[in-house]
Amino acid sequence: MICSRHRSGLPDHAGDDLEDLEFDRTTILQRLRYLPLGDRFRSVYNYTNFGLTAAAEATAKATGKSWEDLAFDRLYQPLGMNRTSSRYEDFARAENRALGHVPVNGKWVAKYQRKPDAESPAGGVSSTVRDMAKWVRLQLGNGMFEGKQVIAAKPLAETHIPHMVNDPPKNPNLDRASFYGLGWNVSYSDRGLVQLGHSGAFNLGAGTAVYLLPAEDIGIVVLSNARPIGVPETIAVSFLDMVQYGKSRHDYFELFQPAFATLEKPNYGTLVDYTKPPAQRLPSMPLTTYTGTYRNHYFGEVEIAARAGKLFLLQGFKKQAFPLQHYDRDMFTYQPEGENAYGLSGVTFTIGANGKATAVMVEDLNINQQGTFKRDLSKP
């Protein structure tokens, strides 16, 4: 399916911003249509959790089951993956579970709890290394597990075939390209062996990696409950080196660092340092200038409310209230939350001829130019 090859033309990680605002799966998939594809359809690789989720939903709909039930019936149960689920509530009920950790002042702290049900087919599975080892055996066994054909060999093999170049070589005369199959990164070792792999991660506290060498009938799964910094990948690739060459040939943690450092770079708030006030700050207009309801098609409705002499931004499915801090004239800031949150974000109002704000632009929601909300004149 086009979505599962990340070639839909949707921008990178499309829909994740809606998930941070706690919209459900159905709402997110419906609203993806408001993101422009441009000329990228089938021509550009952009990883999208909700592209994979759309493919899974289509498959589940054809069976008349939910994706969560379908995954259990067709995969987890036949493999005896008794501690694996595609529902967050099952993870939350487990007595022995790992909590995600993030670095805070030099220490790793269990600060957040990620609830990924909206994108469950792409990143919402909870499992164990023992259960995942059974899934690896299925992959290496061409769909066979303990003498039973759980998945037909031909469609499973299709997922291992390169469908898209996802990492073009910097120097095509010296470097090898890497490819994307259907849920797998496909590359080739120095010995010419097919290598399948994939990493999964949450900035709120999880990093995982799985690698397969089908020709050697071997695979490795590494699960961690920490923000991704490259440790699972380092362990996995070092292990594959030991299998093939008898030793780890590189300091892979050092090699992975540049790639993982990019995950720490914010994609908003980079033009203005909101922690430093402007040299000549202009006062804001009266708070009633800004209060009201604003909306757009993609994010829906946001509200600017005044409470006890302060402005608040109410957004998302639950209309969570975020306090706004005045920065300069008609610009304020707030601290976003969620998987894609970094530092302060600007909130800038456009003032109309009548002295009232006609629109507001929320910077961290504007990554794909969808962050401008127009005043809803039907509401006071």
Q: Indicate the pLDDT class of residue 264, thresholds 50, 70 and 90.
A: confident
Q: What's the CA gap between 151 and 138, in Å, rounded?
A: 8
Q: What's the CA gap between 101 and 19, in Å, rounded?
A: 20
Q: In this structure, are residues 370 and 298 in contact, taking their beta carbons and an 8 Å threshold?
A: yes
* Arithmetic mean of pLDDT, 30-34: 96
Q: Indicate the pLDDT class of residue 92, thresholds 50, 70 and 90.
A: very high
Judged against a pLDDT cut of 60, whether residue 362 lies above it is answered with yes
pLDDT score recorded for residue 7: 82
Q: In this structure, are residues 160 and 214 in contact, taking their beta carbons and an 8 Å threshold?
A: yes
| Of 324 and 176, more confident | 324
Q: Using one digit for the tens of pLDDT, what is the confidence trace for 231-253?
A: 999 999 999 999 999 999 999 99
Sequence-separated (6 or more) residues with CB below 8 Å from residue 341: 20, 335, 364
Q: Indicate the pLDDT class of residue 2, thresholds 50, 70 and 90.
A: very low
The rounded percent of the chain whose pLDDT value lies above 90 is: 87
Handedness of CA 305, 308, 309, 311 (dihedral sign): negative
pLDDT score recorded for residue 58: 95
Strand ordering across the sheet containing 320-323: 320-323, 310-315, 300-307, 292-296, 372-375, 357-362, 345-351, 331-334, 325-328
Q: Give the Cα-Cα-Cα angle 99, 102, 106 (nearest 5 degrees).
A: 130
Judged against a pLDDT cut of 50, whether residue 336 lies above it is answered with yes
Judged against a pLDDT cut of 60, whether residue 4 lies above it is answered with no
Q: Using one digit for the tens of pLDDT, what is the confidence trace for 105-124?
A: 999 999 999 999 999 999 99
Handedness of CA 104, 108, 114, 120 (dihedral sign): positive
pLDDT score recorded for residue 43: 79
What count of residues does the chain have? 380
Which residue stretches of the chain are H helix? 16-20, 25-31, 49-63, 67-71, 77-79, 88-93, 120-123, 129-140, 153-159, 231-245, 252-261
Decide: residue 178, CB within 10 A, 0-12 exposed, 13-18 middle, 19+ buried. Answer: middle
Q: What's the CA gap between 364 and 315, in Å, rounded?
A: 12
Q: Indicate the pLDDT class of residue 39, thresholds 50, 70 and 90.
A: low
Q: Using one digit for the tens of pLDDT, what is the confidence trace for 153-197?
A: 999 999 999 998 988 988 989 889 999 999 999 999 988 999 999
